[in-house]
Amino acid sequence: MSAGCAVIIGAGVIGAWSAYFLERAGWKVTVLDQGGFGKGCSHGNCGYVSPSHVLPIPGPKAVGTAIRALLQRNGPFKIRFRFDPALWRWMALFLRRCNYRDMLRAGHALHPLLQSSRSLYEQVIGKEKLDCEWQARGLILVFRTKAGMEEYAETNHLLAEEYGVPAKRLDGDELSAFEPALKPGLGGGWFYDIDAHLRPDRFMAEMRRLLAERGVTILEGQTFREFRRKGPQAEAVVTERGELTGDVFVVATGAWTPRFSKQLGCTIPIEPGKGYSITMGKPAHCPRVPLIFEEHRVAVTPLDSGYRLGSTMEFAGYDSTLRRDRLELLKAGAAIYLHEPVGEPVLEEWFGWRPMTPDGVPIIGRSPAMGNVFIAAGHNMIGLATGSGTGRLVAELVSGQPPHLDPHPYRPERFT
Ligand SMILES: Cc1cc2nc3c(=O)[nH]c(=O)nc-3n(C[C@H](O)[C@H](O)[C@H](O)COP(=O)(O)OP(=O)(O)OC[C@H]3O[C@@H](n4cnc5c(N)ncnc54)[C@H](O)[C@@H]3O)c2cc1C
């Protein structure tokens, strides 16, 4: 298709990367958002660009892990059970995928997207000189117990054999020697040297600057309501402020996307998976490398300009309360592992709605209802890490160019 006007709905990391690659492919691009650019889930996440995160949540151990976490009084995983057919349907689809075969299949869908994204971040951040605290220092999965360490040895073997993503084993004192911010006496850790991280809010601010410099129009505070259609094509997006015409449209509305299922002509089983973060000043004894405390589900991001604790997963619909007990859980978890778990001052307390699909794989492709509308949503816990590959794939599909990776696993109609 020859390049004309492209309208992107949603200015998160997925919308921003789609805008970048569409503009480079010659499209005249407009991005619109109901709020501010980059202020959704892409704002306060942990910033990991982590090709190591190959395995999706649904897997053979997921149900047992979830039940154990649900039984904890203030565990990292929560479901607010309620009468909501969409949630029950989502859970049924999720449970169906909690087996070894579907987990491996989802891993094979995520692996190329993660790999492509990791190298695109490095290239584009360097080429465009994006000032976003990019660090390629790797990431350690830390275990408090030796049993946890041994259990992960099986996963490490699987990741190495099936996807070529091995970790370096760090036992006992090797771990605290490698990362002195950790307390001695922990079970050990697995180090992924391929992983990198950045500061997400800085990255989104830099993407906004870059896109504006390249002539992309950015419209904030404009809520998309529906498409104006002509037969099997969309002609315009309708917002409460009027209409915006275009030749092609990309729906990159993250956790909000199921609201448009009917118009898009397919079931979009995405549930908001609420997570929290606290951004602080750097503690004196700050970790050098990002850390995930697997048994307590707390993630630590050392930034040039600060320090962030993040995680927890709550299925509570579109609940927008910032719960203090969830924030405290992050600090309490970090205190088990770190000499100095918190820094001063607290700069931001935040939550975001991860767009969770029941198979752990994003939804990327053409809408079955309208030939010139594309969907790019449902990036789960790895939307930053898979954002650049997604944006490039979107631009290729929209422009009719050969895709750099097989789009079949991400097809929108797979749940219908
Ligand atoms: C605590 C936490 C830590 C995380 N850590 C990581 C990490 O380290 N690495 C990683 O890869 N991922 C991480 N994630 C996940 C990641 O943040 C998400 O996968 C990603 O941000 C999703 O991006 P998105 O662009 O799809 O959604 P969003 O960033 O939410 O963007 C969607 C946009 O669409 C807009 N929108 C919605 N409806 C409309 C409408 N009707 N009209 C106009 N605009 C609309 C919204 O306002 C929003 O700005 C984390 C998430 C959380 C919560």
The whole-angstrom separation of Cα 12 and Cα 358 is 21
pLDDT of residue 1: 66
Q: Are residues 188 and 209 in the same domain?
A: no
- Quick check: 47 pLDDT over 80? yes
The whole-angstrom separation of Cα 22 and Cα 250 is 10
- Please check whether residue 139 is in contact with residue 50, taking contact to mean a CB–CB distance below 8 angstroms: yes
Q: What phi-psi label fits residue 360: left (phi over 0), alpha (psi between -120 and 50 degrees) or beta?
A: left
Q: Are residues 173 and 299 in the same domain?
A: yes
Stretch 59-64: mean pLDDT: 88
Helix (H) or strand (E) holding 235: strand 233-239
CB of residue 11 inside a 6 A radius of ligand 1: yes
Residue 72 DSSP class? S
Examine residue 103 and state whether it is found in any structural domain, yes or no.
no
Which of 323, 356, 389 corresponds to the end of one domain?
356
Atom of ligand 1 nearest to the CA of 39: 49
- Please check whether residue 277 is in contact with residue 45, taking contact to mean a CB–CB distance below 8 angstroms: yes
**Residue-wise burial string across 332-350, b where 16 or more C-beta atoms lie within 10 A, e elsewhere:** ebbeebbeebbbeeeeebb
Q: Are residues 20 and 90 in the same domain?
A: no
- DSSP E strand boundaries for 281-403: 291-293, 298-303, 306-315, 346-356, 363-366, 373-377
Which residue range is the domain that position 345 belongs to? 56-96+133-196+271-356
Q: Are residues 209 and 338 in the same domain?
A: no
Q: Is 249 exposed, middle or buried (0-12, 13-18, 19+ CB in 10 A)?
A: buried
Residue 212's nearest CA partner among 19, 4, 15, 14 is 19
Atom of ligand 1 nearest to the CA of 352: 53
- Please check whether residue 79 is in contact with residue 315, taking contact to mean a CB–CB distance below 8 angstroms: yes
CB of residue 272 inside a 6 A radius of ligand 1: no
The residue to which tokens 């898979």 are assigned? 386
Q: Are residues 142 and 86 in the same domain?
A: yes
- Quick check: 385 pLDDT over 80? yes
CB of residue 290 inside a 6 A radius of ligand 1: no
At 75, which CATH number?
A: 3.30.9.10
Q: Are residues 306 and 279 in the same domain?
A: yes
Task: Please tell me the distance between residue 32's alpha carbon and the centre of ligand 1 in angstroms.
Answer: 15
Examine residue 106 and state whether it is found in any structural domain, yes or no.
no
Stretch 157-179: mean pLDDT: 96
Q: Are residues 27 and 91 in the same domain?
A: no
Q: Return the residue whose CA atom lies nearest to atom 26 of ligand 1.
A: 254
pLDDT of residue 142: 98
Atom of ligand 1 nearest to the CA of 274: 53
Examine residue 108 and state whether it is found in any structural domain, yes or no.
no
CB of residue 302 inside a 6 A radius of ligand 1: no
pLDDT of residue 253: 98
Positive or negative: CA dihedral 376, 409, 88, 317: negative
- Give the count of domains, the chain: 2
CB of residue 15 inside a 6 A radius of ligand 1: yes
Of 52, 251, 278, 354, best ligand 1 pocket probe by most atoms within 8 Å of the beta carbon? 354
Of 384, 386, 393, best ligand 1 pocket probe by most atoms within 8 Å of the beta carbon? 384
pLDDT of residue 76: 72
Which of 356, 374, 396 corresponds to the end of one domain?
356
Of 41, 121, 260, best ligand 1 pocket probe by most atoms within 8 Å of the beta carbon? 41
Q: What is the CA radius of gyration of the chain?
A: 21
Q: Return the residue whose CA atom lies nearest to atom 2 of ligand 1.
A: 45
CB of residue 357 inside a 6 A radius of ligand 1: no
For residue range 312-347, list pLDDT tens digits in order: 999 999 999 999 999 999 999 999 999 999 999 999
At 207, which CATH number?
A: 3.50.50.60
Would you state the structure tokens that stand for residue 245, as one six-digit string? Answer: 């015409």
Atom of ligand 1 nearest to the CA of 382: 11
Q: Are residues 31 and 77 in the same domain?
A: no
Task: Please tell me the distance between residue 108's alpha carbon and the centre of ligand 1 in angstroms.
Answer: 23
CB of residue 310 inside a 6 A radius of ligand 1: yes
Positive or negative: CA dihedral 390, 396, 397, 398: positive
Stretch 234-248: mean pLDDT: 97
Task: Please tell me the distance between residue 153's alpha carbon and the centre of ligand 1 in angstroms.
Answer: 32
Q: What is the dihedral of CA 398, 404, 406, 410, to 10 degrees?
A: -50
Would you state the structure tokens that stand for residue 160, as one six-digit string? Answer: 């190495």
Q: Is 311 exposed, middle or buried (0-12, 13-18, 19+ CB in 10 A)?
A: buried
The whole-angstrom separation of Cα 148 and Cα 337 is 14
Examine residue 112 and state whether it is found in any structural domain, yes or no.
no
Task: Please tell me the distance between residue 13's alpha carbon and the centre of ligand 1 in angstroms.
Answer: 7
More confident residue, 416 or 52: 52
Q: Decide: helix, strand or coil at residue 171.
A: strand
- Residues of the chain with pLDDT > 70, as a percent, come to 100
pLDDT of residue 13: 99
Q: Are residues 333 and 371 in the same domain?
A: no
Q: Are residues 260 and 138 in the same domain?
A: no
